[in-house]
C-alpha cells in the first residue's frame, strides 16, 4: 500500500489540531490565544481547520511547545 504525501499532511494536521484541543481543554485557554502565544498568529487554527496548511517548522514549534508545557488541569471554579 502506497502512502501519499497528502495523507501524511492530513495526519499531521489532525494530530496538531487534536493536541491543541486537548491542551486547550486541560488549561482553559482558547485556541486563538494558544496560537498567538506559540506563533504570534491568533487566526492560525481557523485557517488550518479551514483546509490551509502550515510549514513543518510551525508544526514542530507547536509540538515542542506541547512537549515542554505539560498541561496542568485547570482549577475548578470555587463555589462560595
Q: What digits encode the pLDDT tens for the residues 36-45?
A: 999 999 999 9
In a domain, 73, yes or no: no
- Torsion from C-alpha of 61, 48, 13, 42, nearest 10 degrees: 30
In a domain, 79, yes or no: no
Distance (Å, rounded) from C-alpha 60 to C-alpha 74?
25
Q: What digits encode the pLDDT tens for the residues 1-58?
A: 788 888 888 899 999 999 999 999 999 999 999 999 999 999 999 999 999 989 999 9
User: How far, in Å, are 30, 31, 68 from residue 43 at the CA level?
Assistant: 11, 9, 23
Could you tell me the residue range of the domain that residue 31 belongs to?
5-68
**pTM confidence score:** 0.80
In a domain, 53, yes or no: yes
Amino acid at each position: 500500500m502506497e502512502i501519499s504525501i497528502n495523507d501524511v499532511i492530513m495526519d499531521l494536521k489532525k494530530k496538531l489540531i487534536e493536541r491543541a484541543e486537548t491542551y486547550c481543554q486541560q488549561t482553559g485557554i482558547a485556541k486563538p490565544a494558544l496560537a498567538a502565544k506559540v506563533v504570534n498568529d491568533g487566526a492560525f487554527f481557523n485557517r488550518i481547520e479551514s483546509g490551509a496548511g502550515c510549514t513543518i517548522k510551525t508544526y514542530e514549534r507547536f509540538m515542542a511547545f506541547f512537549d515542554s508545557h505539560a498541561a496542568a488541569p485547570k482549577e475548578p471554579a470555587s463555589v462560595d
